[in-house]
Structure 1
Amino acid sequence: MIAKISSTENLGGALGYNFKKVEKGEANILLAAELYQDREGRYTMEEVLADMEALIPKKCRTKKTVFHCSLNPHPDEKLSDETLMQIAKEYMETLGYGNQPYIVFKHNDIAREHIHIVSLRVDGEGKKINDRFEKRRSKQITDTLERKYDLIPSSKVTDKAMKETPKIDTTRGNIKEQVASTLRMVLKHYRFCSLGELNAVLSKYNLAVEEVKTEYRGKRYDGLVYVPTDDKGNKVSTPIHASDIGRGVGYAAVQNKMQKSKQMVKPLIPAVRRKVLEVMRTSPQTEERLRQRLEEQGLCVVIRKNEGGRIYGITFIDDEKGIAFNGSRLGKGYTANKFNEYFSNPEKNPFLDESLYGKIDTTFQQQMQTIQSDEQESDNLVDELIDDMVGESFSSSGNDDWKEAAWQRKLRRQSKISLQRRKR
């Protein structure tokens, strides 16, 4: 089960989005806590909005007073309303919103049933509910709920999306649609700090990204284009500009993801570095043997060569954790030049040099224990970033996410227009 949390100052927009679904028969109200109910036992948009607004102090210093969350079980889960209600109660209670007014909606407009919760981030005195490490705590809560109610783990969702995403095949047509689907999966599930690392991941799906710089009327513009390739990395179709694909895949969005990733993936570097070093100290001799040994460690490697056969780039990818590291990011001893040096003369293994890489552990078991310890410590640090990137949708196309986001933007615009009219 995956939770997607957001905060906003637009209470009307958050409630309006969900009540519009109710009006269309695409959602129903499962539960409401500390909110007014009319004589017929119903909750209306106007009454819930007025009730919640009345609980927000006029001189409240917190701007984003609204808590909006969606809880998404695995698509294969078929949970009863009673179970969903209990999950919502326990989730809100454990997260610290148990005494807050909140309302729970069950959405059934798509095959993947899920619930939305709208609440307030401040209490009756205007004091903000503690949101320190909120997304990290939320992940821990959903993991606990998965175990308690024997739910399909959210990690299975990521694995399924990766396995079911095919390579780009230009002979099947709908190239832009194929590219968009692949990009949504990759940008959602992988962390990368450079376009080179992103390209290494995309190459697994016969896709490449290129940066385009243009100048118009003295002003510089940066952009991205995506190019379908064959298994050898050769271009096989016309480049597609990011703006023709949609939100979230353009230059600014990708740059933002890279900046977010840089600090969050740092704790994972030691474990990956140690795995690579363990493999290289066994002297794999050939690139194919290197790939096999790294796969045993849960890593895959993408090696880039020039026309002369010289290695000029190497990237290590952990599909389970969704990370990609260029060799240089692991350290000076793991650059492309170092691997080129090794494969040019495998008999002379630079990775055995203790002055550069440290002492060789006495046993493989000792080393793996250290790796597992590092990974356990780093997992909590990347949970928050993973939650941000995963989003709500489990579908292969991701269209449902985009529809919901577009609808929320429309409601916000309508709310602003209405407010401007009132001021006039």
Structure 2
Amino acid sequence: MIAKISATENLGGALGYNFRKVEKGEASILLAAELYQSKEGRYTMEEVFADMEALIPKKCRTKKTVFHCSLNPHPDEKLSDELLAQIAKGYMEALGYGKQPYIVFKHNDIAREHIHIVSLRINGEGKKINDKFEKRRSKKITDTLERKYNLIPSSKIADKVMNETPKIDTTRGNIKEQVANIVRMVLKHYRFCSLGELNAILSAYNLTVEEVKTEFRGKKYDGLVYVPTADKSNKVSTPIHASDIGRGVGYTAILNRIQKSKKTVKPLIPTIRNKVLQTMRTSPKTEEELRQRLEEQSLRVFIRKNESGRIYGITFIDDKQGVALNGSRLGKGYAANIFNGYFSNPTDNPFLDEMLYGSPSVHLDQSATVHPSQLNTEESDNLVDELIEDIADGSFLPTGNDDWKEAAWQRKLRKQSKVKLRQRKH
């Protein structure tokens, strides 16, 4: 069961969304707590809104006073209304909302039945309900509920959604809807730290994302467009602007996702790095052989080449963990130019060098990260390859200057200016 929590200050919007579903016959009310019920046993939008609004102080320090959550069982689960109500009640009590007013709706407008819960983030005294580590606590609660009621684990929900999400097919029409479904699924289930890593994930669905810069009335704006592609990454359709898809897929949302991912991917790096190392020590002779052997380790690889065939980017994807990591993020010894050198001469395998990568007998989790000075490559070559990979990944955009030192200098200036801006705000 997957829980998706949001906070808002729009009580009417959260209630209105669910009550409109009820009016259309696309939802029903399963449960309500601490709310007025008419003599007929009914709950109306007006009465529920009035009850909740009366509990919000006029001068409230908490801006986003509304709690809105959806609980999503596995699509193959067929749960009774009574069981869904028990799950909702148990979830709210464990999360600290057991004494709060809340209302539970069951949505049946799509094949996957799920429930929505609307409540308040402040108690009767105007104090905020504890929301520290809310999402982490929520995950532990849903795991406990899965075991208690013998539900299909949430990890299998993600697997089912990912496996059933088809590639872009321009002959089917509704391209914007296809793009929206893919992007939202990817953003929900994957972590990435650059646009390049995001594109490595999207490539499996014949889709790519590009950054665009525009200027309007003297102001510069950054944006994103999503472009359907063929199997060989050739563009086959008109780019679709993120704003045409809807909220949560635009420039700011992607940047926020990148920042959050940078904090959460670190514990996964050693395991993925060791899988790559173990695979490379089998000395695959071709890129296709590398792909096949990585698949045995439950990893996918996305390789980017320039027109001359040089590898300038490599990304490893773990679909089960929901993460994409560039080679250079695993360590200097896993950067794109190392793989380019290897496939240029597979008989010279640097990954077999125990001085550089550690002994094969060492436990996998202790695999060392290689320092650039240890490699049989000039430091300047490494720096150029890192820069090329950064450009490919969207860590910064090319400025029109082919001089890599100039581009690196401009990147340094941008970082410095951001620090100054933050200092001014404080």
TM-score range, shorter chain: 0.7 to 0.9
Q: TM-score, normalised by structure 1?
A: 0.78
The answer as to 2:58 corresponding to 1:61 is no
- Which structure 2 residues correspond to residues 200-349 of structure 1 after superposition, within 5 A? 200-216=200-216, 218-349=218-349
Report the secondary structure of 1:227's partner residue: strand
- 1:194 — aligned with what? 194
CA distance in 1: counterparts of 2:254 and 2:262, whole angstroms: 13
Q: Which amino acid counterpart does residue 160 of structure 2 have in structure 1?
A: K
Report the secondary structure of 2:325's partner residue: strand
Residues 266, 71 of structure 1: CA spacing in aligned structure 2 closer, same or farther, 3 A cutoff?
same
- 1:398 — aligned with what? none
Q: Which amino acid counterpart does residue 272 of structure 1 have in structure 2?
A: I
Q: TM-score, normalised by structure 2?
A: 0.78
Q: Which amino acid counterpart does residue 127 of structure 1 have in structure 2?
A: K
The answer as to 2:353 corresponding to 1:353 is yes
- 1:106 — aligned with what? 106
How far off is 1:172 after superposition?
A: 4.2
Report the secondary structure of 1:314's partner residue: strand
- 1:367 — aligned with what? 364
- 1:161 — aligned with what? 161
Higher relative contact order (CA 8 A, sep 6+): 1
CA distance in 2: counterparts of 1:250 and 1:12, whole angstroms: 25
**Greater CA deviation, 329-338 or 117-126?**
117-126
Query: Which ranges of 4 or more aligned residues in structure 1 deviate by more than 6 Å?
Result: none
Residues 27-48 of structure 1: CA deviation (Å, up to 9, x unaligned): 3322222333333333333333
Q: Which amino acid counterpart does residue 367 of structure 1 have in structure 2?
A: L
Report the secondary structure of 1:255's partner residue: helix
- 1:412 — aligned with what? none
Q: Which amino acid counterpart does residue 100 of structure 1 have in structure 2?
A: Q
How far off is 1:334 after superposition?
A: 0.7
Residues 66, 169 of structure 1: CA spacing in aligned structure 2 closer, same or farther, 3 A cutoff?
closer
**Greater CA deviation, 292-301 or 159-168?**
159-168
Identity of matched residues, %: 82
Residues 84, 214 of structure 1: CA spacing in aligned structure 2 closer, same or farther, 3 A cutoff?
closer
How far off is 1:58 after superposition?
A: 5.4
- 1:138 — aligned with what? 138
How far off is 1:23 after superposition?
A: 3.6
Unpaired runs of 5+ residues, structure 2, are 368-426
Residues 260-302 of structure 1: CA deviation (Å, up to 9, x unaligned): 3222222221221121112222322322221122111111111
Residues 343, 62 of structure 1: CA spacing in aligned structure 2 closer, same or farther, 3 A cutoff?
same
CA distance in 2: counterparts of 1:180 and 1:144, whole angstroms: 32
Residues 277, 204 of structure 1: CA spacing in aligned structure 2 closer, same or farther, 3 A cutoff?
same
How far off is 1:144 after superposition?
A: 1.8
Report the secondary structure of 1:106's partner residue: strand
Residues 187, 37 of structure 1: CA spacing in aligned structure 2 closer, same or farther, 3 A cutoff?
closer
CA distance in 2: counterparts of 1:6 and 1:135, whole angstroms: 10
- 1:399 — aligned with what? none
- 1:81 — aligned with what? 81
- 1:415 — aligned with what? none
CA distance in 1: counterparts of 2:194 and 2:163, whole angstroms: 24
Residues 220, 333 of structure 1: CA spacing in aligned structure 2 closer, same or farther, 3 A cutoff?
same
Aligned positions, number: 367
Residues 235, 115 of structure 1: CA spacing in aligned structure 2 closer, same or farther, 3 A cutoff?
closer
CA distance in 1: counterparts of 2:46 and 2:171, whole angstroms: 53
Residues 347, 177 of structure 1: CA spacing in aligned structure 2 closer, same or farther, 3 A cutoff?
same
CA distance in 2: counterparts of 1:310 and 1:80, whole angstroms: 57
Residues 193, 80 of structure 1: CA spacing in aligned structure 2 closer, same or farther, 3 A cutoff?
same
Report the secondary structure of 1:211's partner residue: strand
Residues 59-90 of structure 1: CA deviation (Å, up to 9, x unaligned): 54333332222212223322211111111111
Report the secondary structure of 1:256's partner residue: helix
Residues 321-366 of structure 1: CA deviation (Å, up to 9, x unaligned): 221111111111110111112222222221233333333335xxx4
- 1:33 — aligned with what? 33
CA distance in 1: counterparts of 2:13 and 2:234, whole angstroms: 47
- 1:408 — aligned with what? none
Residues 359, 87 of structure 1: CA spacing in aligned structure 2 closer, same or farther, 3 A cutoff?
same
Unpaired runs of 5+ residues, structure 1, are 372-424
How far off is 1:218 after superposition?
A: 4.2
How far off is 1:174 after superposition?
A: 4.2
Residues 329, 183 of structure 1: CA spacing in aligned structure 2 closer, same or farther, 3 A cutoff?
same
Report the secondary structure of 1:346's partner residue: coil
How far off is 1:230 after superposition?
A: 2.7
